[in-house]
Each structure stands twice: as structure tokens, then as C-alpha cells.
């Protein structure tokens, strides 16, 4: 028998584990008989740990020792967390966040250990391997951190799988006819993605993926809490009071997915004051409208990215507990102009898909190839601080791409390769995943030849290779840990900002490219003119073009500079040819006289 592999959905709010047993993918229930286990970890004063509903129950007594939503901190730096986390986050020596003295990877590992334990207990055998899912929007650092969490839990992580791809498998979309297109709308507790897949020759291609790593059901709970606080003049609550409010808000929200009205009940909440109020589904929908609107914006962007209209899609599937909300279903149906497929349990689909993928990999199910895409473009910084994209956003992985670079100045002995992720034209506006120095023999400007190659493996992890072609010396950098150095803002915001700044960015790129060209041309033209190489009838046109370029440079505007540089380039064509000729004659003469 082939070695079994688990499929694990490591969710922000809940986690689940599955496996292929006797040819069928199944989810494995915990001791409470539930196939879903809360992603909650209690860490006691002397380091003892409890996971799942046992941990949640401790929240009433020791709220400050129960960690939830740890997925939000995975692969992030402490400085990026801000006030975005329910518990106190401290900063470790390496700048990484610590909660109750433990890293997000260690805390996630506790959840994964629990998933492994449930599976081993149910299957009555040891299991060492797993496929773990992550949101499509997770960048390198977050994927690498998830993989390490698996290893800390004693699992060999054979694949990091995008959640929407897993969901598509669970919905059996592989059985659709060729060129069918599907949108997966995944709104869970803490993250949102919209992914568009296309079936091609029996294989899933991801056409586009958009989302927000800080958008989920928790945020709607928080909106509801704010409303309760305002209504009852509670001020901003914290600690145990806030947890009580959040729990009651979440309960009311869930009830309103089924009922038209519910009651918010908080006995003896504020001293001896009790809170009691009615909340209707319509009121919740008013509160939820902007929150749902945020998800719809990502849907529209994904459609635009894939260059599709809603009518081009063959199915829309819903994943994640928050898609149980009727208003969410309604809005998604309206936007995509079709009723979404809700045939799977929205909170089990991802784990089921992960189990199917693990079955494919272990050989327990027939072979099926899955293709994922890069959520953001990857590239390096080049002259003038420009972003040079090597692998564009939405490229199918695994993939490889390379380009040749050279030295910008005479006598330069090394070059710094800055690896960037993002959609902006200027390097400074993208995130730096890491950087390293490549040494080469000093020589004149433009002499060195350094090949830079990006390789992304099936888990979405990036390896960068830089080769000095003169010596064939390779520098290889795996961007596992270095990727943590990303100045990470929300990935969705990155894409949003690139749209927002599209015109400014493009004109800055045009200006920079034209400036670099001008800086090359001006001294060369100056030298040629002072050597008296220009013919009289050329000279005045060249001088006027030079003046134009200088004026445009000073004005800082892109288009006039581009036009002026083109004019100068054109005016000096004949002169440049004569310069080359003269240089060759001089060289020949030197050679002859030297011999």
C-alpha cells in the first residue's frame, strides 16, 4: 500500500483534516464528532497546550492565554501586525512576532499536531505526510512559514496547495467540459479570495486570483460589536468584555443566516447592567453591505484580470463559513449573473479538496495535475530604480524565467540584486523579498554579464540564481526566510494601489527611462561636438535638440522628455555613425603604428 498523505485545511477560524480511504476522500471527525476543529490554542502558564474547542472553553477563564486567528500573523513581521490582533503581540529578537512567547509557526504547529493526532487516532496508524492549503494570496514568506509549521508538527509537507484550487476539486469541477470556467468565492473567518479557474485538456489553469488577507467573518463580527458598543455607550471594550461581545455578535450573526430576527443577550455585562436588544436580518445586512462590497470589488478586479465577463463563467462556487450569509449569496449571484453552486459544505470544501489532492499524490486516487499561479509579479530592481518584472502576476507555476543584466558604471566590481514582489513600476513601491551581492571582474560600463534566473517550485517557493557568465560563478538564494523582510501591507492593497497609481507610475517609468537615455546621450554628444565632428548643418539642430532635452529634464515631465530624447537621438544618428567609424580608424592606426 502507498504511504498515506493527509489533506489539511489550516484555517484562520477553523481547521479540518481529510484523507482518501478505500478510494474515497473523507474528513476525519475529532472526539466531539465534529469534522471542523476551531483553530484555537490555549497555552498554560507552565507551557501546557490545548487545541480546538477545549482551548475555546478556557477563554471564559483565561482569555489572555487563548490564541485565535494566528494565521493572520504567519510570515509577517511584528511591526506589520499593529493593533490587528486580539492578544498582545511582542517582538522577538529577529523582529518576528511572538504571542505568549511563541512564534506564529509554533502556534500553528500545535493546530497541525492536533490534526495529525485526530487522523492517526481515526485511521489507527502513524501518518507522516501532508498537503496543507493556504489562501491564494499568501506570498512566499507566508507559504514558507506554513511549511515550517508543518515540519514543527512532525509532518513532511509534500505540497502547499492554494485553497481555491482545493475547493474546485471538492466541487468536482474537474468533470466539467474543456474550457469551462469557474469562479471560486471563498469568504472565511479571516481571509477572502476570488479565483477564476479554467479547465484545459482535463487540467485546471488558474486564470486570475484576487483577494485580501485581512477580510473575513471576524470583521463583520467586529462591525456588529462596534454597533453594540455605540448603542449602549460602552466605549471601546477590551479583554474579557470584548471577547464576550465578539462571541455574542458571532452567534447572532450565524442565527440571522437562518432566522429573520434574533436577540443580543449579555446578562450583567456592564457591572449590573444587562444588555438585551433585538437585531433583524435587515439591520445586519445594512451593517454588512460595505463589507460585502469589499469582496465584490476583488471579484470585479479578478474578472478584469482574466479579461472575462460574468457571462463567460460556467459556474460559481462558494467556500468558507461566511458564504452561509444569505446577503452574501444574493450579492454574489447578482454580480456573476447566476446562482452559485452551494452543493458542498462551505466550511469543508477546502479540506475535502486537500484530501483529494493528497490522494492523487499518494496514488490513492487517479493522477490529476493541478496548476497554480503567482499572485503577484516578481522581478528585480534595475537602473534608475525601476522594477524589472521577470515573472508576471498570474503566471502558472512551477515556472522559470531569466534575463541578462550588466554593470551601470565603469570599474564596478559587484551588483546588488534586489528581489521584488509587487505590481508597481518603481522598485521602491514594491516589497523587497531579499537582496544579495553578485561580484564580477571590474571592466568598462556594460561589460559584465550577469544572468538572473527566478525559479518557483510547485509550492510557490522562490529560488533566485545569479550567474557571472565570465566565471560561471553562481549565487543561489532561497527566499524562505528572507521573504519575511517584505514590507508587507495587505496584498489586496498592493494590487489596488497599482491600479490607483497606474498613470503616475507609468509616467515616472517613461521619465526615468528617458532620463537614463539622456544621461547617456548628453555627455557623448558634448564630447563629439567639442571634437568638431559635427557638420555645420547638423550642429544647429543638435544644439537645439540638446537644449530641448535639458529643458525637459528640468521640467520633470515625462512625455516632453521622451520626445526631446527621441529628437536628439535622431539628430545625432549620422554623428554617432561617424564616431564609431573614427574610433575604428583610430584603433587601426594605433595597431599599425604599434606593430
Closest to ligand AMP by CB, 13 or 498 = 13
Among 188, 340, 379, 492, binds ligand AMP (CB under 6 A): 188
Closest to ligand AMP by CB, 69 or 103 = 69
Task: Give catalytic residue positions.
Answer: 9, 71, 163, 186
Among 217, 375, 379, 422, binds ligand AMP (CB under 6 A): 217
Closest to ligand AMP by CB, 14 or 358 = 14
* 253 contacts ligand AMP (rule: CB under 6 A): yes
Q: How far is the CB of 428 from ligand AMP (least distance, A)?
A: 35
Q: How far is CA 125 from CA 4, 9, 431, 535, in A?
A: 10, 20, 44, 88
CA distance 141 to 479: 8
- Counting Cβ atoms within 10 Å, is residue 314 exposed (0-12), middle (13-18) or buried (19+)? middle
Closest to ligand AMP by CB, 148 or 324 = 324
CA distance 296 to 332: 7
Among 50, 331, 347, 429, binds ligand AMP (CB under 6 A): 347
Q: How far is the CB of 133 from ligand AMP (least distance, A)?
A: 11
**CB neighbours of residue 548 within 10 Å:** 18
Closest to ligand AMP by CB, 212 or 347 = 347
Among 53, 180, 257, 414, binds ligand AMP (CB under 6 A): 257
- Counting Cβ atoms within 10 Å, is residue 361 exposed (0-12), middle (13-18) or buried (19+)? buried
CA distance 222 to 287: 11
The helix/strand/coil state of 134 is: strand
* 11 contacts ligand AMP (rule: CB under 6 A): yes
Closest to ligand AMP by CB, 321 or 359 = 321
User: What's the angle, vertex CA 36, arms to CA 122 and CA 191, rounded to 5?
Assistant: 140
In the window 501-530, what residues touch ligand AMP (CB under 6 A)? none
Tell me, residue by residue from 290 to 329, as one string, x for binding to ligand AMP by CB under 6 A and - for no binding: ------------------------------xxx-xx----
Among 4, 10, 14, 132, binds ligand AMP (CB under 6 A): 14
* 38 contacts ligand AMP (rule: CB under 6 A): no
Closest to ligand AMP by CB, 257 or 485 = 257
Closest to ligand AMP by CB, 345 or 449 = 345
* 189 contacts ligand AMP (rule: CB under 6 A): yes
* 193 contacts ligand AMP (rule: CB under 6 A): no
- Counting Cβ atoms within 10 Å, is residue 70 exposed (0-12), middle (13-18) or buried (19+)? buried
Q: How far is the CB of 259 from ligand AMP (least distance, A)?
A: 11
Among 110, 114, 250, 423, binds ligand AMP (CB under 6 A): 250
Calculate the dihedral angle through the C-alpha atoms of 214, 216, 217, 218, rounding to the nearest 10 degrees: -10
Number of residues that bind ligand AMP (CB under 6 A): 19
Cross-strand bridge partners of residue 382: 386
Residue nearest to ligand AMP (CB): 217
CA distance 70 to 100: 12
Q: How far is the CB of 130 from ligand AMP (least distance, A)?
A: 19
CA distance 21 to 41: 29
Q: What is the 3-state secondary structure (H, E, C) of 339-357?
A: CCECCCCCCCHHHHHHHHH
CA distance 298 to 321: 18
Q: Which single residue is written with the C-alpha cell 474528513?
A: 27
Closest to ligand AMP by CB, 35 or 148 = 35
Stretch that binds ligand AMP, among 159-167, 248-256, 261-269, 448-456 (CB under 6 A): 248-256
* 12 contacts ligand AMP (rule: CB under 6 A): yes
The helix/strand/coil state of 419 is: strand
Please name the residues in contact with 50: beta carbons below 8 A apart, sequence gap of 6 or more. Answer: 41, 42, 44, 58
Q: How far is the CB of 217 from ligand AMP (least distance, A)?
A: 2
Give the closest residue to 378 by CA, choosing from 436, 424, 323: 424
Give the closest residue to 484 by CA, choosing from 72, 77, 107: 77
* 254 contacts ligand AMP (rule: CB under 6 A): yes
Is residue 477 within a helix (H) or strand (E), and if so which, with residue range?
Answer: strand 473-478
Q: How far is the CB of 219 from ligand AMP (least distance, A)?
A: 9
* 348 contacts ligand AMP (rule: CB under 6 A): no
Stretch that binds ligand AMP, among 5-13, 152-160, 463-471, 569-577 (CB under 6 A): 5-13
All 3 cell numbers of residue 335? Answer: 454580480
Sheet (strand 450-456) strand order: 399-405, 450-456, 462-468, 473-478
CA distance 382 to 39: 43
Q: How far is the CB of 236 from ligand AMP (least distance, A)?
A: 21
* 135 contacts ligand AMP (rule: CB under 6 A): no
Closest to ligand AMP by CB, 159 or 253 = 253
In the window 350-409, what residues touch ligand AMP (CB under 6 A)? none
CA distance 567 to 545: 6
Q: How far is the CB of 451 from ligand AMP (least distance, A)?
A: 43
Q: How far is the CB of 266 from ligand AMP (least distance, A)?
A: 18
All 3 cell numbers of residue 219? Answer: 470583521
Write out the residues near ligand AMP by the rule CB under 6 A: 11-14, 188-189, 216-218, 250, 253-254, 257, 320-322, 324-325, 347
Amino acid at each position: 500500500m502507498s504511504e498515506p498523505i493527509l489533506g489539511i485545511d489550516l484555517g484562520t477560524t477553523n481547521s479540518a483534516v481529510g484523507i482518501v480511504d478505500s478510494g474515497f476522500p473523507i474528513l476525519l471527525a475529532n472526539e466531539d464528532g465534529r469534522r471542523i476543529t476551531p483553530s484555537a490554542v490555549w497555552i498554560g502558564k507552565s507551557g501546557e497546550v490545548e487545541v480546538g474547542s477545549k482551548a475555546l472553553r478556557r477563554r471564559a477563564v483565561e482569555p489572555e492565554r487563548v490564541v485565535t486567528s494566528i494565521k493572520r500573523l504567519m510570515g509577517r513581521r511584528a511591526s506589520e501586525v499593529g493593533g490587528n490582533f486580539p492578544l498582545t503581540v511582542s517582538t522577538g529578537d529577529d523582529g518576528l512576532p511572538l504571542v505568549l512567547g511563541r512564534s506564529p509557526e509554533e502556534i500553528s504547529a500545535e493546530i497541525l499536531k492536533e490534526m495529525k493526532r485526530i487522523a492517526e487516532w481515526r485511521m489507527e496508524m502513524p501518518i507522516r505526510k501532508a498537503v496543507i492549503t493556504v489562501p491564494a494570496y499568501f506570498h512566499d514568506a507566508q507559504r514558507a512559514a506554513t511549511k515550517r509549521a508543518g515540519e514543527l508538527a512532525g509532518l513532511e509537507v509534500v505540497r502547499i496547495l492554494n485553497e481555491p484550487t482545493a475547493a474546485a476539486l471538492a466541487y468536482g469541477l474537474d468533470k466539467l467540459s474543456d474550457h469551462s470556467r469557474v469562479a471560486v468565492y471563498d469568504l472565511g473567518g479571516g481571509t477572502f479570495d476570488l479565483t477564476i479557474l479554467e479547465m484545459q485538456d482535463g487540467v485546471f489553469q488558474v486564470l486570475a486570483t484576487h483577494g485580501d488577507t485581512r477580510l473575513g467573518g471576524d470583521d463583520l463580527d467586529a462591525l456588529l460589536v462596534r454597533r453594540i458598543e455605540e448603542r449602549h455607550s460602552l466605549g471601546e471594550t477590551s479583554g474579557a468584555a470584548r471577547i464576550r461581545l465578539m462571541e455574542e455578535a458571532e452567534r447572532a450573526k450565524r442565527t440571522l443566516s437562518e432566522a429573520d430576527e434574533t436577540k443580543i443577550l449579555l446578562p450583567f455585562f456592564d457591572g449590573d447592567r444587562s444588555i438585551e436588544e433585538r437585531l433583524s436580518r435587515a439591520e445586519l445586512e445594512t451593517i454588512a453591505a460595505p463589507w460585502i462590497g469589499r469582496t465584490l470589488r476583488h471579484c470585479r478586479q479578478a474578472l478584469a484580470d482574466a479579461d472575462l465577463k460574468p457571462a463567460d463563467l460556467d459556474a460559481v462556487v462558494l467556500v468558507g463559513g461566511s458564504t452561509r450569509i444569505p446577503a452574501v449569496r444574493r450579492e454574489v449571484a447578482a454580480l456573476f449573473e447566476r446562482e452559485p453552486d452551494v452543493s458542498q459544505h462551505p466550511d469543508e470544501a477546502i479540506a475535502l479538496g486537500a484530501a483529494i489532492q493528497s490522494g492523487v499524490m499518494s496514488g490513492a486516487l487517479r493522477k490529476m495535475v493541478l496548476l497554480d499561479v503567482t499572485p503577484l509579479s516578481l522581478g528585480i530592481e534595475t537602473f534608475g530604480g525601476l522594477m524589472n518584472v521577470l515573472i508576471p502576476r498570474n503566471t502558472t507555476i512551477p515556472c522559470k524565467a531569466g534575463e541578462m543584466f550588466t554593470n551601470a558604471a565603469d570599474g564596478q566590481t559587484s551588483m546588488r540584486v534586489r528581489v521584488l514582489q509587487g505590481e508597481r513600476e518603481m522598485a521602491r513601491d514594491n516589497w523587497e523579498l531579499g537582496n544579495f551581492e553578485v561580484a564580477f571582474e571590474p571592466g568598462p560600463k556594460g561589460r559584465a554579464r550577469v544572468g538572473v534566473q527566478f525559479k518557483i517550485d510547485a509550492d510557490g517557493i522562490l529560488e533566485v540564481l545569479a550567474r557571472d557568465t565570465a566565471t560561471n560563478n553562481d549565487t543561489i538564494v532561497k527566499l524562505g526566510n528572507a521573504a519575511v523582510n517584505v514590507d508587507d501591507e495587505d496584498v489586496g492593497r498592493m494590487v489596488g494601489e497599482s491600479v490607483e497609481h497606474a498613470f503616475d507610475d507609468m509616467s515616472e517609468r517613461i521619465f526615468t527611462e528617458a532620463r537614463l537615455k539622456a544621461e547617456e546621450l548628453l555627455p557623448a554628444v558634448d564630447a563629439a561636438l567639442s571634437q568638431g565632428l559635427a557638420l555645420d548643418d547638423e550642429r544647429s539642430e543638435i544644439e537645439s535638440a540638446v537644449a530641448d532635452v535639458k529643458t525637459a529634464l528640468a521640467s520633470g515631465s515625462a512625455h516632453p522628455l521622451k520626445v526631446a530624447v527621441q529628437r536628439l537621438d535622431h539628430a545625432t544618428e549620422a554623428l554617432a555613425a561617424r564616431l564609431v567609424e573614427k574610433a575604428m580608424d583610430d584603433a587601426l592606426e594605433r595597431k599599425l603604428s604599434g606593430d
